[in-house]
Amino acid sequence: MTRFVVVPQWQGSPSARAMALIDGAEAIQGDLPTSSTSRVPVPVEAGESLGTGVQRASTLRRVAQHVREELDAFPGERLIVIGGDCGVAVPAVRHAASDDLAVVWFDAHGDLHSPETSPSGAYSGMALRAVLGTAPDGLGAPAGVIAPDRVVLAGARDLDLDEDLVISDTGIRVVRADQIAESLADVVAGTGARRVFIHVDLDVLDPAHIEGVSVAQPFGADPADLIAAITAIRERLELAGASIAGFAPRSADAAVDDMGTILRIIGALAKA
C-alpha cells in the first residue's frame, strides 16, 4: 500500500515566493486519496537560525522530527512525502536508509551546499548534502548512513563551484536531463543497490512543461522522459520511498494547469 505524507514546509526555501509552496502542497493533497493521506503540521513562524548557519533552523528541526514520527507510524507501507521545499526529503531518506539503498535526486540544482558554503543559508540548497550527513544536529541523516557512491544526481544544470567540488570529491554520479530516459536506470543499477529512494524536485522539468516552480531553469527534462526513467528504475530496484517537492503555483488556476503533469509523476512512483 502507498501512503502519502503531505508536508507544506516553506521555511527551507530561499525564494521570495516561498510560502507559495504551502499552496502547492495543498493543491496536490486535494487530488490524493483521503484514506491514505496524512498531513504533518508546519508551524506558521519562520524560526531562528540558532547559530547553525541554516536559516529558520529551529522550525525546520521541529518539522523534521514530526515527519520522522509520522513515517514511523506506518511500518511496511510505501511512503511518498509531498512538499513543500526539498528539505522534506531528508527525514524521508533517513527513514528508508539501509546499506542497500541508492538515492536518485531529480533536481535542476545540486542541493549540495553546507552551512559554510551556502550563499543564502537556505536549507533546501543543502538538502542532498544533509542526506549525506553534512548538516547541523537534527537537520540531516547520520554521517555514513548514505554513501555518496550510492547517490545519483539527475537533471541538474545550475551548479555552483562548491557543489561541483563536492561531486568530484565524493564520486556522486551525475546524469544530464537529456540522458535520464536512456541511461539513468543503468547508472542507478550500477551502484550495486537493491533498493532506491527517488526524490523529485519539479524544477527538474523544463519550464515549457511546468510553470509552478520558484526558480525555473532552461534545458530541463521532458515529463515523459522523467516518468520513463522512474518506471525503468522501478523495474530494476525496489522502491523504498519517494518525495516530491518544489510546487509553488502563482494562482489556483495556474496550479490546475500543472496538476496533470504532477499526478502522472506521482502515479509512476505510486504504481504497485
Q: Which CATH number is associated with domain 2-270?
A: 3.40.800.10
**Which of 267, 164, 264 has its CA nearest to residue 221?**
264
Residue 59's pLDDT is 98
State yes or no: cis peptide before 84, omega within 30 of 0. Answer: yes
> How far is Cα 210 from Cα 206, in angstroms, rounded to an integer?
7
Band (pLDDT 50/70/90 cuts) for residue 144 is confident
Report the 3 state secondary structure along the chain.
CEEEEEECCCCCCCCCCCCHHHHHHHHHHCCCCHHHEEECCCCCCCCCCCCCCCCCHHHHHHHHHHHHHHHHCCCCCEEEEEECCHHHHHHHHHHHCCCCEEEEEECCECCCCCCCCCCCCCHHHHHHHHHCCCCCCCCCCCCCCCCHHHEEEECCCECCHHHHHHHHHHCCEEECHHHHHHHHHHHHHCCCCCEEEEEEEHHHECCCCCCCCCCCCCCCECHHHHHHHHHHHHHHCEEEEEEEECCCCCCHHHHHHHHHHHHHHHHHHHCC
Q: Evaluate if residue 52 carries a pLDDT over 90.
A: yes
Domain boundaries, the chain: 2-270
Q: Evaluate if residue 172 carries a pLDDT over 90.
A: yes
Residue 185's pLDDT is 98
Band (pLDDT 50/70/90 cuts) for residue 1 is confident
Radius of gyration of the chain (CA): 16
On average, the pLDDT of the chain sits at: 97
**Structural contact between residues 12 and 127, judged by C-beta atoms closer than 8 angstroms:** yes
Task: Quick: pLDDT tens for 109-119.
Answer: 999 999 999 99
Residue 99's pLDDT is 93
Cell of 156: 541538474
In the chain, the percentage of residues whose pLDDT exceeds 90 is: 97
Task: Quick: pLDDT tens for 189-227.
Answer: 999 999 999 999 999 999 999 999 999 999 999 999 999
In the chain, the percentage of residues whose pLDDT exceeds 70 is: 100
Band (pLDDT 50/70/90 cuts) for residue 151 is very high
Task: Quick: pLDDT tens for 87-134.
Answer: 999 999 999 999 999 999 999 999 999 999 999 999 999 999 999 999
